[in-house]
């Protein structure tokens, strides 16, 4: 019984670690997309304003 619980705990820990890495990857992708959108918007406004 104890071995079965330990095995389940090991599997669960591995799954959680894998999901954390996956979430972190998508957070960075989302962050980069947001930064590019903001920079593009600012450059567009500056172009309309005649700064560039």
What is the rounded average pLDDT of the residues 42-52? Answer: 93
| b (16+ CB within 10 A) / e for 8-45 | eeeeeeeeeeeeeeeeeeeeeeeeeeeeeeeeeeeeee
Residue 45 scores a pLDDT above 90? yes
Residue 31 scores a pLDDT above 80? yes
What is the rounded average pLDDT of the residues 26-33? Answer: 96
What is the rounded average pLDDT of the residues 22-33? Answer: 95
What is the rounded average pLDDT of the residues 33-52? Answer: 95
Percentage of residues in the chain having pLDDT higher than 70: 100
The sign of the CA dihedral 9, 13, 16, 18 is negative
For residue 26, the model assigns a pLDDT of: 95
């Amino acid at each position: 019984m104890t071995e079965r619980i330990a095995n389940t705990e090991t599997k669960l820990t591995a799954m959680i670690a894998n999901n954390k890495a996956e979430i972190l990857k998508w957070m960075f992708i989302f962050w980069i997309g947001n930064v590019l959108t903001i920079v593009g918007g600012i450059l567009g406004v500056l172009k309309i304003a005649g700064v560039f």
